[in-house]
Amino acid sequence: MFRFLHPKRSAVTDAAWQAVRESLPIVATLAESDAGKLRALTDTFLRTKSLEGAGGFDLDEGSRVVVAAQACIPVLALGMEAYTGWRSIIVYPGGFVSRGTSVDETGVEHEWEEERSGESWFRGPVVLSWEDVAASGRLEGYNVVIHEMAHKLDMLNGDANGFPPLHAEMDGAAWYRVFSDAFEDLGARVDAGEETAIDEYAAEGPDEFFAVTSEYFFELPEVLDECYPQVYAELRAFYRQDPLGRIVAAGGR
């Protein structure tokens, strides 16, 4: 249920923030100045978005802060305005079944269902598995919250297609070339049966490539930079953050 908060009361208590700061590596490794910005954004997120448990899951204060803090990492330098046009996050205890329909090239409609750890709807809710949220933020390359937030940013100019609205100073043609080349390279490696450093799910489509590389950008930036340095550079310009620079400045992980 959406909670209406007292206008002068913080949505993030000191205890809840300290718990996230100490237990979640992706937050714990932030400099104090960035952590302060993240806490303020997390507070705004919890005030403006509806976070609800489903399937019997009790989304308590600590769980809400864990979700919101990770959701705000991609917009640390962009601001909450980047999350316009939607309001709700729904959290299940584990993987949930998603159902839909698709039409093949002959015009035949097919119904499908599959278990998922997360999904985002255009101008609709984000749906997450708490089991996967709990496995995120460990600096291991996996973050279902950041993955779905990347889809939301991708959808700011329509359906998710791996080409989000870029900043005025960015070159759209360069973005398209860099991401297309990297996506084709990863797909070829997956098809050849190679073990890839980047999760092969990124080869499912340009939208998933953008979302998965966004996970690596924040979770394992050194791996993304080694595999696809130009992709890292484009994401650095898009998110206006440099996670790899933070690691170097701190003397390594």
**What range does the domain containing 36 cover?**
1-92+120-140
171 shares a domain with 134: no
196 shares a domain with 136: no
Considering its fold, how many domains does the chain have in total? Answer: 2
Q: Does the pLDDT at position 103 exceed 80?
A: no
Q: What is the pLDDT of residues 165-205, one digit of tens each?
A: 999 999 999 999 999 999 999 999 999 999 999 999 999 99
147 lies in some domain: no
Average pLDDT over the chain reads: 89
212 shares a domain with 134: no
Q: Does the pLDDT at position 66 exceed 80?
A: yes
CB 156 within 8 A of CB 85: yes
135 shares a domain with 40: yes
245 shares a domain with 166: yes
Indicate the residue type of 90.
I
Percent residues over pLDDT 90 in the chain: 80
User: For the chain, how big is the Rg over CA atoms in Å?
Assistant: 18
Q: What is the pLDDT of residues 221-232, one digit of tens each?
A: 999 999 999 999
3-state SS class at 86? coil
Rounded to an integer, what distance in angstroms lies between the CA atom of residue 68 and that of residue 45?
Answer: 6
pLDDT interval class at 1 (50, 70, 90): very low
Last residue of some domain: 110, 140, 170? 140
Closest CA to 89 of 135, 130, 141: 130
CATH of the domain at 63: 1.10.472.150
Close Cβ partners of 232 (under 8 Å, ≥ 6 residues apart): 217, 221, 224, 225, 244
2 lies in some domain: yes
Close Cβ partners of 77 (under 8 Å, ≥ 6 residues apart): 239, 240, 241
What average pLDDT does range 44-66 have in this prediction?
Answer: 95
What are the Cα distances from residue 176, in Å, to 162, 190, 203? 9, 21, 16
148 lies in some domain: no
Q: What is the pLDDT of residues 6-24, one digit of tens each?
A: 455 678 999 999 999 999 9
74 shares a domain with 33: yes
CATH of the domain at 248: 3.40.390.10
45 shares a domain with 130: yes
Strands (E), 108-179: 109-116, 118-120, 126-129
204 shares a domain with 126: no
pLDDT interval class at 78 (50, 70, 90): very high
